[in-house]
Structure 1
């Protein structure tokens, strides 16, 4: 297990070093990002649904994921009132949300096995409802970081929000799998065979993407804000993990996976939204990298303890 987790960390380090050796450019992470969100992650989601048994009780995990993504945003909004608006936006976007599909899913499937993927996917359906679009809308609304869109009629704003959701290939895949689950439709074996090579590449591509995004911010204020986000996420990880372990009506294995989910890092969408609202891509990317490394270490320890 330690070697499996270490290999994932090694991919992050290797991609970072290759970027600084000028094998890759500063913006090349967008290529990896496009491959993860539009190819390897959707295929991993399909394979998790197709190769695991699931029942309607798993919908409790969807609701749990939605609450775990939304509640921290509200807490941070009130807890960051003394900070500048742009740093409040950074904290709200990066202290909330769980990087489940793009990070936790490949990690869990690497250290436990493919069968562990379904609970992560179900939790990410609820989590993605917030992370893919609602987080940005809520942050801009609460902090009055308005732009031209704020003056649009309500109907048009709702259409823009719907477009943000539907333009996410990963979110669309989640909704399709949920529909198949409701209608009891089985995914054909030939589709599973087609997506398997791409799904198996998801862990590598995700870690490489994180390594390519990594860049240490120079300003001391940025580093201090990062520490605040790490502290917020540590607090929420404990609360989410405790709630998942004690409240969800599932066996020990699934509740243990919820503990791993709680240690997930900043979402990719949060880094994108942080860049667009604050114009600070280095801080956004480094936040993902730091919480990703810490999350990987925490997941390894949690799994070792729960497996005893």
Structure 2
């Protein structure tokens, strides 16, 4: 366990480095947008290719896709019900933030440290279901409640899903795996080199986006949001951990997965739908810090020394 905690410490140092570079003016927060696009569209897809190209996908792993998708729908509608008395724009803002998890940027580097390649496989399958929530349900909720006369446009959502390079990579690589096609070794070798950059770049990006200042008037709304998201996630996660008849890695994935930070996609959504961007950004940062602490505690409790 000492080695694991040391790896966690390295993660914290890299995150802190990103934060200090921002505070020192060497890197600006807006630079994180370009770095984020590199991670989402290059390093993360290559990591998916390297992780999934030759693994044996068990039937139980497909259930992780369904679990990620159904949980997102469940907690999304629970949130809309609990926040039903809020103003329309607040309900839409909170409603789009509750479902969906930050797996590609936040979970992958930590899961790689905790569980290795096996963990990436499980969380990758969970992320496929999560992707439909992030780019589908969250987008629909944010769009619908942004203005009084907004109409849902399924075509827009479908187009957005098809343009998600990580999601399309998941689907293509899993299909290739199932039909037992071989990816050319040249592609795999190049992908492996690029994928090695995913963890440090993702951790640096988390540091760049960290912000410890916020408006005190946000506190009550933030506490309500965190209570819904983490309260429900903890109850469902613990229930799945003790009740489901699957292997430990499957149960670790659900328990930790339901307690991950809110998706980074809510930040561009807040711009597109004219929500309070400072509130969304601040609350996203809080979920990152809170989830980091929770995962460290869970990892120390669940993993044998």
Q: TM-score, normalised by structure 1?
A: 0.89
User: What is the correspondence of 1:88-99 to structure 2 with a 5 Å cutoff?
Assistant: 88-99=91-102
Structure 2 distance, partners of 1:92, 1:203, is: 29
Residue in 2 that maps onto 1:129: 132
Q: Deviations over 1:79-132 (max 9, x none)?
A: 012322222222112222121222212210122212211110101101111101
Deviation sequence 1:170-219 (CA, Å, 0-9, x none) = 11111212322332334344332211122222122112222222334542
1:291 aligns with 2:287: yes
2:208 counterpart of 1:219: no
Cα gap change, 1:186 to 1:258, in 2 (>3 Å)? farther
Paired residues of 1:60 and 1:248 also in contact (CA < 8 A): no
Structure 1 partner of 2:53:
50
Partner of 1:81: helix, strand, or coil? coil
Equivalent residue, structure 2, for 1:4 = 7
Number of the residue aligned with 1:40: 43
Q: Give the unaligned 5+ runs of structure 2.
A: none
Question: Residue in 2 aligned with 1:13?
Answer: 16
Distance 1:278 1:224 in 2: 21
The CA deviation at 1:144 is: 6.5
- Could you say if the C-alpha distance between residues 15 and 130 of structure 1 is closer, same or farther in structure 2, counting changes exceeding 3 Å? same
- The alignment's C-alpha RMSD in Å is 2.2
- Kindly report which structure 2 residues correspond to 1:295-306, keeping only aligned pairs within 5 A, or say none: 295-306=291-302
SS at match of 2:30: coil
Aligned to 2:186: 190
Aligned pairs, number: 301
Cα gap change, 1:35/1:170 in structure 2, threshold over 3 Å: closer, same or farther? Answer: same
Structure 1 residues 301, 253: closer, same or farther in 2, change over 3 A?
same
Unpaired stretches in structure 1, ≥5 consecutive residues: none
Q: Is the 8 A contact 1:100 1:124 kept in 2?
A: yes
* Partner SS, residue 268 of structure 1: coil
Superposition map of 1:48-87 within 5 A: 48-87=51-90
Contact 1:275–1:284, Cα closer than 8 Å, also in 2 = no
Take 2:244 and 2:176, find their aligned partners in 1: how far apart are those partners?
23
Q: How does 1:249-288 map onto structure 2 within 5 Å?
A: 249-288=245-284
Q: Specify the alignment match of 1:109 in structure 2.
A: 112
Q: 1:248 Cα shift? A: 4.4
1:145 to 144, 147, 171: 147
**Conserved 8 A contact 2:139-2:157:** no
